[in-house]
Chains A and B, each alone.
Chain A
């Protein structure tokens, strides 16, 4: 029984670590992976989601609906941000980096001034279950499930809907898309808003387990970028999922074999090695391999 619970604990931790990386990265898949905007304020959009969730919950709104509010709120905040600032910085990699970094500072300090250093978080729901002598929280598995669900939805949206096709056309070649009658500036705003909304939902999900403070986002931005960058741009969705699986794998194994500290180091080391061997990310390699296989077979 002991072995069973240890093996389950290992799988649980792996799912937990993947869920963390995927949720942190979910909005950035669109904003950075597809639109190419280095949004340093991504964590702050998540932070806004966390605040909305906490305020709504403590005002009597059930947690799932509070999290949907967070998505709507962060999405609107994202659209406003895009219209006022971001749209002047498309295809200017370094400028967008500095500008969004500035925005993130303004947002954190602004929230600190208005709401103080911290607010009450939301209780973690669902309780726990036991495997052998160990017990596990259910909510961490819900985080993992929601992360997969959101990524599935992004994939379906961009693959099968009219909006998705138009958005992809806009990102690929804005002039041509414009010529075909697509309102590209509206597409940009909506896509950015969608990415922000996903960030808000992720922030709302984390609000049920984390400290909510103006500095909430800092911890997620770094991991979100690492996950998306390691995934690469050739196919963002496969890239991000494989990259999260690889990084969390390294982390989980080393966490248990050595210590949590070495676990973090190993994750950074894995990211470094992957980028050293595959400078354009995992998905580029997977795409090339797919083409090679297709050529051989056909």
Chain B
């Protein structure tokens, strides 16, 4: 029938094509920056696996910029300037982030670059941006250990989300924890934070496992969890394939409570999977449309008025809140500095910037550590996938870097730290 086909050549062709896809660079040609413009370059995956998490954030930047421009813009460098958002699609491909970051810095002459969802994308983009001595922001929850002069983080850190949440879970559910996560920098760090929390609050990390992106069959893991019998599961599952864990575990009859710092807050899985796949889930959220704050109602109204398409934006997720807030924080820094010049802007950012109407509640960028103090909330999900507010775990400070002696206003070490770099916590990781 198909005897004429050379099977080996076919496979070779497929592999070549896979690489060609990765190397393909699109995007519109750069336009020269006008004198009365401040350029924000935003690289987010509006297509591919991570578009679910990244799309709301990408449009929230535009929303905040429009608000500032409608109010007249910002007076810097002797003239009134408007903010221009240049947006690129990172296509959920790490290599694209590197290329597009260069484009932002060198072609678009960006004054600031916002880029990436995953830690892998972040490092690809961040390296390029900080090498060009341009300000970089990551606007998702993160490890909380990057200490670099040009890098800023609007999202909550492991210290702010994992420590109080795991403490609550140990006290209210039980001490034995089974951790599963994606095999990359962020989830590996979340594993470390979970282990730290277990040691600090009388819990026990009975098992810790990491999986490459793209794993979609979970029976082996489900069996192992059933045999280990933890009190709760801690999840850092990332991407469309990983979250298939939920319907599979539910169908297999696994009922051990789960907790996650990425599920629901970013990918609104409770709206994507038919109930009761997410039953028995606890979710840590620093902002989403379900967070009960005074600023959230008006924020959601403005967001929905601007983006009424609920098929494109089914849920106003955590990234949307950070996306809006970070533009206002930068505007405040430029206003204070009176210029968009990088070093002066960093000095303004390092004087602490508070955004009072951040939709997740009070939000303050701490200049000493380049991370933001903010609230952490805990929700539970029932068999009908209703989100129930469980607790405000408090206004939490990102003190981790300060605790190990870092003050970015004096000297930026230019590296990343993990919980095990804290001498008090190092014993938790012995034999690891």
Chain A residues with CB under 8 Å of chain B are 9, 12-13, 16-17, 20, 32-36, 38, 40, 91, 93-94, 97-98, 101, 108-109, 112, 114-124, 126-128, 130, 133-140, 168, 171-172, 208-216, 218-219, 222, 225-226, 229, 232-234, 236, 255-256, 259-261, 264, 275, 279-281
Question: Contact at A97–B13, with CB atoms within 8 Å?
Answer: yes
Question: Contact at B49–A134, with CB atoms within 8 Å?
Answer: no
Q: Which of B212, B247, B271, B312 contacts A209 (CB 8 A)?
A: B247
CB distance from A3 to the nearest CB of B (A): 12
Q: Mark B212-256, 1 if CB is under 8 A from A, else 0.
A: 101111011101001100000000000011011001101111100
Report 25 cross-chain contacts, Cβ distance below 8 Å, ordered by A residue: A9-B220, A20-B216, A34-B1, A36-B2, A108-B47, A114-B311, A117-B314, A118-B314, A123-B247, A126-B251, A128-B251, A130-B253, A136-B219, A137-B252, A208-B247, A209-B244, A211-B240, A211-B272, A211-B273, A215-B92, A229-B7, A234-B3, A255-B220, A261-B211, A275-B7
Chain B residues with CB under 8 Å of chain A are 1-5, 7-11, 13-14, 17, 47-49, 51-52, 55, 92, 183, 209-212, 214-217, 219-221, 223, 226-227, 240-241, 243-244, 247-248, 250-254, 271-277, 309, 311-314
Once A109-B47, A215-B240 are accepted as A-B contacts, the answer to whether A137 and B251 lie under 8 Å apart by CB is: yes
CB distance from B265 to the nearest CB of A (A): 15
Contacts of B221 in A (CB 8 A): 260
A91 and B49 alpha carbons, distance in the complex (Å): 33
Question: Contact at B311–A127, with CB atoms within 8 Å?
Answer: no
Question: Contact at B1–A213, with CB atoms within 8 Å?
Answer: no
6 nearest interchain CB pairs? A137-B251, A128-B253, A135-B253, A123-B274, A116-B311, A124-B251
A234 and chain B: residue at smallest CB distance:
B3
Question: Contact at B251–A233, with CB atoms within 8 Å?
Answer: no
Contacts of A256 in B (CB 8 A): 220
CB distance from A131 to the nearest CB of B (A): 10
B275 and chain A: residue at smallest CB distance:
A123
Q: Which of A13, A91, A280 contacts B220 (CB 8 A)?
A: A13
Contacts of A216 in B (CB 8 A): 240
Question: Contact at A128–B247, with CB atoms within 8 Å?
Answer: no
Question: Contact at A116–B7, with CB atoms within 8 Å?
Answer: no
Contacts of A279 in B (CB 8 A): 7-8
Question: Contact at B52–A127, with CB atoms within 8 Å?
Answer: no
CB distance from A78 to the nearest CB of B (A): 18
A259 and chain B: residue at smallest CB distance:
B209
Question: Contact at B52–A117, with CB atoms within 8 Å?
Answer: yes
Once A134-B227, A281-B7 are accepted as A-B contacts, the answer to whether A128 and B252 lie under 8 Å apart by CB is: yes
A171 and B4 alpha carbons, distance in the complex (Å): 11
Contacts of A118 in B (CB 8 A): 52, 240, 272, 314
Question: Contact at B219–A233, with CB atoms within 8 Å?
Answer: no
Q: Which of B17, B220, B311, B313 contacts A40 (CB 8 A)?
A: B17
Question: Contact at A140–B248, with CB atoms within 8 Å?
Answer: yes
Once A34-B1, A256-B220 are accepted as A-B contacts, the answer to whether A225 and B14 lie under 8 Å apart by CB is: yes
Question: Contact at A33–B17, with CB atoms within 8 Å?
Answer: no
A124 and B240 alpha carbons, distance in the complex (Å): 17
Question: Contact at A93–B5, with CB atoms within 8 Å?
Answer: yes
Contacts of A38 in B (CB 8 A): 10, 13-14
B274 and chain A: residue at smallest CB distance:
A123
CB distance from B240 to the nearest CB of A (A): 4
Question: Contact at B51–A117, with CB atoms within 8 Å?
Answer: yes
Question: Contact at A209–B10, with CB atoms within 8 Å?
Answer: no
CB distance from A102 to the nearest CB of B (A): 11
A174 and B127 alpha carbons, distance in the complex (Å): 57
Q: Which of A17, A171, A212 contacts B2 (CB 8 A)?
A: A171
Question: Contact at A120–B274, with CB atoms within 8 Å?
Answer: yes
Once A16-B219, A120-B274, A215-B48 are accepted as A-B contacts, the answer to whether A172 and B244 lie under 8 Å apart by CB is: no
Contacts of A233 in B (CB 8 A): 1-3, 5, 7
Q: Which of B4, B13, B226 contacts A135 (CB 8 A)?
A: B226
Question: Contact at B273–A172, with CB atoms within 8 Å?
Answer: no
A101 and B20 alpha carbons, distance in the complex (Å): 11
Contacts of B277 in A (CB 8 A): 123-124
Contacts of B51 in A (CB 8 A): 112, 117, 213, 215
A213 and B272 alpha carbons, distance in the complex (Å): 9
Best-buried of A123, A232, A234 by chain B (most CB within 10 Å): A123
B14 and chain A: residue at smallest CB distance:
A225
Given A13-B219, A209-B248, 19 other A-B residues pairs in contact with their CB atoms under 8 A: A9-B223, A16-B219, A38-B10, A93-B10, A127-B251, A128-B253, A136-B252, A139-B251, A140-B219, A209-B247, A211-B241, A213-B49, A219-B214, A225-B14, A232-B7, A233-B7, A259-B209, A260-B211, A264-B212
Once A38-B10, A116-B314, A215-B240 are accepted as A-B contacts, the answer to whether A140 and B251 lie under 8 Å apart by CB is: yes
A128 and B249 alpha carbons, distance in the complex (Å): 10
CB distance from B392 to the nearest CB of A (A): 29
CB distance from B383 to the nearest CB of A (A): 11
Contacts of A281 in B (CB 8 A): 7
A124 and chain B: residue at smallest CB distance:
B251
Question: Contact at A36–B217, with CB atoms within 8 Å?
Answer: no
CB distance from A144 to the nearest CB of B (A): 12
A108 and B271 alpha carbons, distance in the complex (Å): 21
CB distance from B288 to the nearest CB of A (A): 16
Once A109-B47, A135-B252 are accepted as A-B contacts, the answer to whether A219 and B241 lie under 8 Å apart by CB is: yes
CB distance from B37 to the nearest CB of A (A): 29
Q: Which of B4, B5, B55, B211 contacts A117 (CB 8 A)?
A: B55
A124 and B357 alpha carbons, distance in the complex (Å): 41
Contacts of B211 in A (CB 8 A): 259-261
Question: Contact at B247–A124, with CB atoms within 8 Å?
Answer: yes
A14 and chain B: residue at smallest CB distance:
B219
CB distance from B351 to the nearest CB of A (A): 38
CB distance from B193 to the nearest CB of A (A): 22
